[in-house]
Structure formats: C-alpha cells, structure tokens
Amino acid sequence: MSSGDSNPAATPIPCEDVQGDGRWMSMHNRFVSDSKGKEPDVLFVGDSLVQLLHEFEVWRKLFSPLHTLNFGIGGDATQHVLWRLSNGELDHISPKVVVVWVGTNNHGHTPEQICGGIMAIIDVINQHLSQAHILVLGVLPRGKSPNPLRERNKRVNTLVQDKLASVCYASFLDVDPGFVHSDGSISHQDLYDYLHLTPQGKIFLKQWF
C-alpha cells in the first residue's frame, strides 16, 4: 500500500455536515485555536474513544497533570483525522508524545487500507513534529459476540504492529485488557454499547499509562 490516492483511508477529507449544525467543523476549529494558545506535552488524537476519555475522571486524574490536549472527534475515521492534522491542528505546538487511536470507524475499508491510513497519520505527525514520539493504540474489539469487525480490527492491529517495528519514532501499544471473555462475549460493564468504554473500562488504561 504505497500510493495515498488509491487508498480512501489515507486520503485526507473533512467530514461532511449532513446533519446541518456544523459540529465537526466547530470542533476542528476549536482544536486549531487550542493549538495556537496552548503548550501541551502530550496530544491525543482520534475518534470517540479518544474524545470520551476527556469526559471522565480518568482524564483529570491521569492525563491532565501531563499537560494534555484532546483532539478526538466521535465518528472520525483515519481519513478525517488525516485531514484535521494536515489543516492546522498540529501547527504551533510541540508535544513530546502524540497518542493516536483511530480505525474502528473505517467502515467499508480493508484492514490493509486502514493500516495505510494510520501510517499516513503517523507520517503527517512526524513531518510536523519531528521531535515527537508517536504511540499508536490498538483498535479495541467490538460487538457483544464474535463478528467480522472484531476480525478486521485484530488484523489492523497486526498489520500496524508489523509496520511500526521498523519505525523508530513510533510504537504500538495494545490497550485491550481482555475485554473478550472465554465465551467470546464482551460485557456491557466494560463497553456499555459494545463499542464505547464505561468509566470502569477506562480504568484499564491506567496500567498502560
């Protein structure tokens, strides 16, 4: 997977305002403005799994003390994050670490394409922030029972982990503490809608950070 234009997951594109209240652009603009005014040591970027971290105790306890900015937007796929990072969200800041958590919303893309999208994101970050270390978090399993998306996400993680082995400025971190039980099920106590973390599920992130 070399060419960006043949991979939809690696082709930067903003989210279209289909609903009519311009929320995605509002959030992007706020992040651009944040990056002009703030000096974070750590930057989180990605989808709702990143965004929701900010809304719970875990952020205040673990990440706020690290001077962290949260540029997560619910629903974002790799191509949206790529666009945001290429359009102002990385300007004027020099965090030491950038945490990337995205990929689960890339519906219709193959694991290879999604991996390509994530690698394109790492590329853009490295171009803007040559001093930063990038931490790519593994995409979590989803759905109450075994399903194709779990297989897809697993494959994405394998591909990304493989690729990152030869990248010195980035590493892969598997943050799944074992959400899938021996009977193949995921509990709503960990992922309340079988996709998003409960406050309890977020506690598992503690051990990684």
Partner 1 sequence: MSEEENPAAEPAPVQDVQGDGRWMSQHNRFVQECKDAEPEVLFVGDSMIQLMQQREVWRELFSPLHALNFGIGGDTTCSVLWRLQNGELENIRPRVVVLWVGTNNHEHTAEQVAGGILAIVRLLHTHLPKAKIIVLGLLPRGEFPNPLRDKNLAVNNFLRASLPRVGPVQFLDVSGGFVHSDGTISCRDMFDFLHLTASAYSKIATPLHELLLQLLEETPQERRASLV
- Candidates 173, 198, 203, 205: give the one binding partner 1 (CB under 8 A): 198
- Which range in 117-125, 127-135, 136-144, 174-182 contacts partner 1 by CB under 8 A? 136-144
Residue 167 binding partner 1, by CB under 8 A:
no
The 3-class SS string of 24-63 reads: HHHHHHHHHHHHHHCCCCEEEEECHHHHHHCCCHHHHHHH
Provide the 10 A C-beta neighbour count for residue 71: 26
Tell me how far, at minimum, the Cβ of 133 lies from partner 1, in Å: 27
- Candidates 4, 8, 74, 88: give the one binding partner 1 (CB under 8 A): 74
Euclidean distance between CA atoms 113 and 205, whole angstroms: 27
Residue 73 binding partner 1, by CB under 8 A:
yes
Tell me how far, at minimum, the Cβ of 197 lies from partner 1, in Å: 9
Catalytic residue among 28, 35, 47, 48: 48
Place of tokens 């930063």: 132
196 noted as active-site residue = yes
**Alpha carbon of residue 170 to chain centroid:** 14
- Which range in 4-12, 117-125, 139-147, 172-180 contacts partner 1 by CB under 8 A? 139-147
Nearest CA-CA partner of 48 in 21, 65, 66, 23 = 23
Collect all residues with Cβ–Cβ distance below 8 Å to 14 and sequence separation of at least 6: 24, 25, 28, 80, 83, 84, 87
The strand pair at 170-173 and 133-137 is best described as parallel
- Candidates 6, 33, 127, 147: give the one binding partner 1 (CB under 8 A): 147
Place of tokens 């603009």: 29
145 noted as active-site residue = no
Total of chain residues touching partner 1, rule CB under 8 A: 31
Q: Which of residues 33-72 bind partner 1 (CB under 8 A)?
A: 51, 54-56
183 noted as active-site residue = no
Active site amino acids: 48, 193, 196
Contacting positions for partner 1 (CB under 8 A): 18-23, 26-27, 30, 51, 54-56, 73-74, 107, 142-145, 147-150, 188, 192-195, 198-199
